[in-house]
Structure 1
Amino acid sequence: MKPQDILSGKNSLWIFGYGSLVWKPDFKYKRSKIGYITGYKRRFWHGDNFHRGDDEMLGRVVTLIEDDDVCTWGVAFEVIGAQMEECLKYLNVREAVRGGYVTKVVEFFPRGQEESPVLALVYIATPDNPIYLGPATAEEIAAQIIVCKGKSGHNIEYLLRLAEFMRTTCPDVEDTHLFSIEAAAVALLPMLLGP
């Protein structure tokens, strides 16, 4: 689905973030909500040669993998009026052009049972992307993350900020994949830094 198709006849749009968008949206929005989507799991399976790595050393960032039995927590941002077009132009460059992500529409469930779900746009990197890296062990992913850096900063900052978001904002949610990579990276750092 193309972003412009989503805009037709609407005066507001929700964008779901599950990676760096949770702490750094970099676009104007009306409000944000913590919540989750179902049918997808977050994985550090996508390469990054711009924000958190380069062509010589790809960083690792998250994407979503279809899995009926799980949910992924993050933040949905509501953009309204002129914000919609500005936001989609910005995200098209940040996520699609530079990141290789495609757009999908998903059902977002805000935290709190009194809230109704809303449809939200999400960016997902797929295995047919040339810099898609696929699965690896937590240790292999961590070893790659701690040595990579891109135009937006060190890859480990991305990992640690995402883990901190989950720990502080969704303390009851266990994200085993994320936390196992964080633990592996923290264990590897002393070896990298030396005595």
Structure 2
Amino acid sequence: MPPTPVNMPAARASQLPPPPEAFHLRDTAWHRASIKQHLQHWDGHSDLWVFGYGSLIWRPEFDHLEARRARIHGYHRALCLWSRINRGTPEQPGLVFGLDLGGSCEGTVYRIAAARAYDILLPLWQREMPSASYVPRWLNCQTAAGPVSGLVFTMDRRDEGYVTGLSVDEIVAIVRQGRGRYGPCTEYVLQTADALEAADITDHRLRTIAQALRRPL
């Protein structure tokens, strides 16, 4: 099993992700099939919307025609997914954001040109779903200009990487130790917190976590 994170109580050790041999990345063929499945009702002509709630707010990495502040209901932003690639390793995982059940979440919804949909969605799928930990859903996104149906990557609670019930202190300890192919987990969390503050989006729990991460050890 991966080592217990620094300051992780023994009661939480059982929530650590499985060892590396149980972890499988999805290939390009799987991503293409998943995109096709989730676009089966798309008319092929209308522009598509994608909702961002974490790093997609400050690093969307895809061309878009429009960006709007938006809110979805039924899900909230949480550091609820072990990260063993992007912001951690199998031996020393970090945490990344997911949309967990309950509450609501403010973020940014992006409009993608219909003509470029597949070119944009493939790298987006590969980025957001390297191990299929999220469930893509079409949800109602409320914006100041009216509601739009947006593609939202929600947390799959059945996924072996899902974690819940961590205290702020436990989250901070895990985030501080995580580092993956995209860099330190601390950087990821603080950039998200800063992006929300800049957009005047309030997330009280994330603000508390960010304040703790900025305190000297």
Interval containing the TM-score (normalised by the shorter chain):
0.7 to 0.9
* Corresponding residue number in structure 2 for 1:80: 113
Deviations 1:25-55 (A, max 9, x none): 1111111111211121111111111111111
Residues matched between the structures, number: 182
What secondary structure does 1:146 align onto?
Answer: helix
What secondary structure does 2:139 align onto?
Answer: strand
Please, what TM-score do these two structures have when normalized by structure 2? Answer: 0.78
Q: Residues 10 and 177 (structure 1 numbering): CA distance in 2 closer, same or farther, change over 3 Å?
A: farther
> Does 2:138 align with 1:94?
no
* Equivalent pair of 1:29/1:83 in contact (CA under 8 Å): no
What residue identity is the alignment partner of 2:196?
Answer: M
Aligned residue runs from structure 1 range 18-167, under 5 A: 18-67=53-102, 70-98=103-131, 100-110=133-143, 112=144, 115-167=145-197
Specify every segment of 5 or more residues in structure 1 that has no aligned partner in the other structure, as ranges: none
* Equivalent pair of 2:77/2:99 in contact (CA under 8 Å): yes
Specify every segment of 5 or more residues in structure 2 that has no aligned partner in the other structure, as ranges: 1-33
What secondary structure does 1:11 align onto?
Answer: coil
1:99 is displaced (CA, Å) by 5.7
Looking at structure 1, the residues matched to 98 and 82 of structure 2 have their Cα atoms a distance apart, in angstroms, of 10
Structure 1's consecutive aligned runs of 4 or more residues displaced over 6 angstroms after TM superposition are none
1:148 is displaced (CA, Å) by 0.7
What residue identity is the alignment partner of 2:48?
Answer: L
* Equivalent pair of 1:101/1:125 in contact (CA under 8 Å): yes
Give me the CA root mean square deviation. 1.7
Looking at structure 1, the residues matched to 158 and 75 of structure 2 have their Cα atoms a distance apart, in angstroms, of 18
* Equivalent pair of 2:80/2:100 in contact (CA under 8 Å): no
1:82 is displaced (CA, Å) by 2.8
What secondary structure does 1:22 align onto?
Answer: helix
What residue identity is the alignment partner of 1:46?
Answer: L
Looking at structure 2, the residues matched to 3 and 51 of structure 1 have their Cα atoms a distance apart, in angstroms, of 24
More strand by share: 1
Looking at structure 1, the residues matched to 137 and 125 of structure 2 have their Cα atoms a distance apart, in angstroms, of 13
